[in-house]
Structure 1
Amino acid sequence: MMKIKHIILGLALTVGLVSCESLDLEPQGFYSDENFYKTVEDAEAAILYAYDGLTLVSYAPVTFYLAELASDNCRVKQDEGADAQAFVNWEVTSQNELLTQYYRSAYIAINRANAVLENVEGKGFNVEDEKRLLGEALFLRAFNHFNVVRAFGLAPLQTSLIDRLDETTASLPENMDEVYAFLIDDLTKAIDLLEVNRVVGRADKVAAQALLAKVYLFAASAKESGMPKYDAITESVDNLYAKAAEYSSYVINGQGEYSHDLDLQNIYNVENPNGPEHIFILSMDRSGTQEGDYSKLSKYFLPYIAGGSVYLENINGSYSETHDGWSVFQTADNLYSAYEVTDKRRNELIVSEVFDENGASIGSVSDATIPYPFTRKYVDPLFEGDKTSTRPYLLRYSDIQLVYAEATANPDGLIQYNQIRSRAGVSELASLGGLSKEAFRDLVIEERQRELAYESDRLWDLRRKNMVQSEVIEAAGLSPEAVAFYPIPQREIDLNPNIN
């Protein structure tokens, strides 16, 4: 397995800087574009550094605050900080520190990708290496910009490397049409440059196709539902859906490396990050030396129970050890009740009882020993203290099956929808007879909640469908823009006079 580590190369000025406060740092062991990008090994180090931006502690875990806590999936523990409570209560302001961390981290990751784009092309590397490196950098630039637009709406498009103070004041894009044209252009180029090449922690052609399908689907449904600012997109809703269907079809029908995993448990087997479902997943491993190399993601979802190890019952009757956690992201009643009682995604992936090493019950939700039913998606039985190999699931095959189902809303899409439901052990939909496209798409959104629960996707679905206020009580009474976009952090507005 490829393991992405921090690349401590003194690239402090060449990559990774986005704000005035960062630019005040004195680079140590400085490598400039004049003396660094001399070999393909240099370029590989730079692209790994760009991937490493996704694992920042101020980025990867914070995504769940934004996309899960503000939805109907999760609540937060009562004594968690005010900034976290604000997401549940829909009281997020431009002063929110978690929001600031997320925004800043996304642009750090974007800038690292830009460093590769500006310093690899034309350096005389092998053609195949150059295309791969540029394709991965374009994917990463688009991936992080898509995170920004879903969270903040119109925010600066960072199209080039920032390595001087006077380059930190980018203007806002004119409208969403400009934003999506940029995302589509980056991903289209990435698809042309990349090959199908599965490496854990890296993106390939299929990842770029999958992300482009999600970009088109977001634009289509956001424009169709009347989400603020999306009326500026000039492409028709029908054409946007057609493009989402086209690129998700490439993922489903145009390659043989990734596929639907019939074993639900296998998807979340921490020891199998290269399973058939995982199109793009972060490379984090318990053997790492600092957080970001290893993961503490499990701690956020697991409840605090006994201050030590507990055991979870597996479907074969054996038991897996896990540490207890911090009880931060707690399953909401709305999510738990969204599953049918026979749904394997509830019965096999959500835990309501824990045991000791001998299989004796030591607590359950019913006796209030466990404060809430919790997900097994982030459990590492081989944990080392707080260090685990649990990873965010960034692009999964099942996600793209549901993208295809929603985009097509036809019998071919129904096949993909039913495959998800069949694996979960719930009834399939016999036909689309009597259902409009809109009604079937609503069913797909419901299925996405059940299938992608705890995977930092729910709020984005609610936003693009203009459903936040119908599904999240705390958002009632807010303006359309307030539920569609988080505010750009005040610190960034203060640093950049072109943001208003």
Structure 2
Amino acid sequence: MKKVIYRILLISLIAVSCSDNFTELPSENDLTTDSFYKTADDFNAAVISAYQKIQSQVNLYFELVEWRSDNLDLGAPTAGTQDRFNINKFQETSANELIRDAWANFYNGIFRANTVTDNIGNINFDESLKKQFEAEARFLRALNYFNIVRLWGDAPIVLKVISVEESLSIGRSPAAEVYRVIEDDLQFAVNNLPGSYPAQDFGRATSAAALALLGKVYLTQKKYSEAATVLEQVANPNNLMENVADVFDTNNKNNREVIFSIRFNKDIRGQGHGLWFAVSDISISPFTLKLINAYTNVDARRDLIEYVPSGNRFVPGKFFDTESAFRNFGNDYILLRQADVLLMLAEALNEQSYQPNGLAFAYLNDIRERANLTPLTPTDIPDQEHFRAVVLHERFLEFPFEGHRWLDLIRTKKAEEEINSGIGAIIQEYQLLYPVPQTEIEKINDQSLFYQNEGY
């Protein structure tokens, strides 16, 4: 009988605790795949568990992606923020606990998806529902692997539940192989996810979410033709909210611009979160002057990074919410939205060929005009290189704190230039990837199989 391993004794490739408290580990005898996976409800619960795992990833996005970017600058470490400071200042080592926790979290998300894909073929229930559950699991697995490959490069590929012994023989696969796995999972998701769900299931991945994520995967690999083909299927300027602030309205989370978000519910105990980027004194804002000064006075997005009061603290307008009876907040964290799709598509089209007054201009200007900015013409953007720079800058203005900036800089090979002008940090090329946690290196203890990234 195959046991589902919940221990973190040897390696996070197998699993970390279902709780973020790693000390609260259930007995490995408490649950087996043979005894649990019997009905559609059982698989639905397993899929929901995979969704729940990405809730705990939001703070990791902040730490590893936002604090790494030129959106934020930490002046000096305070109690409990040394690891964040090191990430922000490009001084991290393989012992950084935030990096360690992120690696474990993403692989636990993969583990949860694998428990679904491993077992769903053995149980008889409605075939269309089985395909949906498998597609949701594979979408979430792809999302986790996409985060891993962008942050660490080469990575172990684990597509089934494995034993402790098996885990010790799995090395890091080339990034290109990881991307093939991601693409395969997302293609399956595109073909088998529904276009929409009943209202009570809002938040589950749709075929549009799979298309948008696949487009981002292709764009990241510079597969511009493939990216454009996929993104064109989900691009719709009519789905932009007229007022950009309405995208983040907690009273209208299911608005037409949101394609996929990490859901929270502040009215259910344990399903809310704390204030994001809150400060008690706005004079100690971590937002860089580069970001603050990037907006013109008429840009509607400027207010979204302005601090507003929330109780006795201040929070960016983008993340404002009222406190619940459980003393927490319920903003969803938006991973994919229509504005992102349009700007990605504009980028992909321009990279194929610069077309004066073509669709790339139209999609770029859809975002600018929504922000109350004047549309740009070929006179303003005379060639491909200038268009490339304008799109990157527009993304800088559109998506602060949404987990895009650092990864945009890596993709466009602008990280060293922009970080230097943003927070004054001098970075080296090897720092475009994070170090693999030393704890993982030591578990395998075979440098030919499981090696550290260069420079660390």
- Same fold at TM > 0.5: yes
Between the aligned partners of 1:123 and 1:92, the Cα distance in structure 2 is: 46
Structure 2 counterpart of 1:248: 231
Q: Could you report, residue by residue, the CA deviation over 1:445-487 in whole angstroms, capped at 9, with x for unpaired residues?
A: 11001101111111001111111110112675543122x2011
Structure 2 counterpart of 1:379: 320
Q: Does 1:65 align with 2:51?
A: no
> What is the identity, as a one-letter code, of the residue corresponding to 1:100?
R
Q: Does 1:154 align with 2:154?
A: yes
Pick one of 291, 295, 303 that aligns with 2:279.
303
Between the aligned partners of 2:58 and 2:292, the Cα distance in structure 1 is: 24
Shift of residue 26, structure 1, vs aligned partner? 5.0
Between the aligned partners of 1:243 and 1:381, the Cα distance in structure 2 is: 42
Pick one of 263, 268, 274 that aligns with 1:288.
268
3-state SS of the aligned residue for 1:281?
Answer: strand
Structure 2 counterpart of 1:472: 419
Measured on the aligned residues, the alpha-carbon RMSD in Å equals 2.7
Q: Could you report, residue by residue, the CA deviation over 1:117-166 in whole angstroms, capped at 9, with x for unpaired residues?
A: 11112411201101100111110010000011111111212222234443
Between the aligned partners of 2:192 and 2:225, the Cα distance in structure 1 is: 23
Between the aligned partners of 2:35 and 2:3, the Cα distance in structure 1 is: 13
Alignment of 1:284-363 (within 5 A): 284-290=264-270, 293-296=271-274, 298=275, 300-305=276-281, 330-346=286-302, 348-351=303-306
> What is the identity, as a one-letter code, of the residue corresponding to 2:343?
L
Between the aligned partners of 2:153 and 2:381, the Cα distance in structure 1 is: 36
3-state SS of the aligned residue for 1:415?
Answer: helix
Alignment of 1:10-409 (within 5 A): 14=4, 20=10, 22=16, 25=25, 27=27, 30-56=30-56, 59-76=57-74, 78=76, 79=78, 81-173=81-173, 175-198=174-197, 199-220=201-222, 240-252=223-235, 259-290=239-270, 293-296=271-274, 298=275, 300-305=276-281, 330-346=286-302, 348-351=303-306, 375-384=316-325, 386-409=327-350
Between the aligned partners of 2:405 and 2:48, the Cα distance in structure 1 is: 29
Contact 1:267 1:277 in 2 (8 A): yes
Count of aligned pairs between the two proteins: 424
Q: TM-score, normalised by structure 2?
A: 0.86
Contact 1:414 1:432 in 2 (8 A): no
What percent identity do the matched residue pairs reach?
29
Pick one of 420, 445, 468 that aligns with 2:367.
420
Runs of 4+ in structure 1 deviating by more than 4 angstroms, as ranges, are 15-19, 21-26, 352-356, 474-477
Q: Could you report, residue by residue, the CA deviation over 1:201-244 in whole angstroms, capped at 9, with x for unpaired residues?
A: 21111100000000011111xxxxxxxxxxxxxxxxxxx10111
Contact 2:346 2:364 in 1 (8 A): yes
> What is the identity, as a one-letter code, of the residue corresponding to 1:43?
F
Contact 2:7 2:28 in 1 (8 A): no
Q: Could you report, residue by residue, the CA deviation over 1:331-355 in whole angstroms, capped at 9, with x for unpaired residues?
A: 1111111111210100x32325659
Q: Could you report, residue by residue, the CA deviation over 1:66-117 in whole angstroms, capped at 9, with x for unpaired residues?
A: 1111111012363252101112211011110111111110000011001101
Between the aligned partners of 1:110 and 1:392, the Cα distance in structure 2 is: 20
C-alpha distance 444-16 of structure 1, shift in aligned 2 (>3 A) = farther
Between the aligned partners of 2:262 and 2:7, the Cα distance in structure 1 is: 22
> What is the identity, as a one-letter code, of the residue corresponding to 1:190?
A
Structure 2 counterpart of 1:366: none
Between the aligned partners of 1:391 and 1:281, the Cα distance in structure 2 is: 6
Structure 1 counterpart of 2:438: 490
Between the aligned partners of 2:63 and 2:393, the Cα distance in structure 1 is: 21
Shift of residue 434, structure 1, vs aligned partner? 5.8
C-alpha distance 477-355 of structure 1, shift in aligned 2 (>3 A) = closer
Contact 1:152 1:487 in 2 (8 A): yes
3-state SS of the aligned residue for 1:344?
Answer: coil
Between the aligned partners of 1:271 and 1:91, the Cα distance in structure 2 is: 40
Between the aligned partners of 2:391 and 2:254, the Cα distance in structure 1 is: 26
Between the aligned partners of 1:95 and 1:467, the Cα distance in structure 2 is: 27
Between the aligned partners of 1:132 and 1:83, the Cα distance in structure 2 is: 39
Shift of residue 273, structure 1, vs aligned partner? 1.5
Contact 2:6 2:26 in 1 (8 A): no
Contact 2:6 2:28 in 1 (8 A): no
> What is the identity, as a one-letter code, of the residue corresponding to 1:407?
A
Task: For structure 2, list consecutive stretches of 5 or more residues without a partner in the other structure.
Answer: 18-22, 452-456
Between the aligned partners of 1:353 and 1:472, the Cα distance in structure 2 is: 27
C-alpha distance 412-485 of structure 1, shift in aligned 2 (>3 A) = same
Structure 2 counterpart of 1:367: none
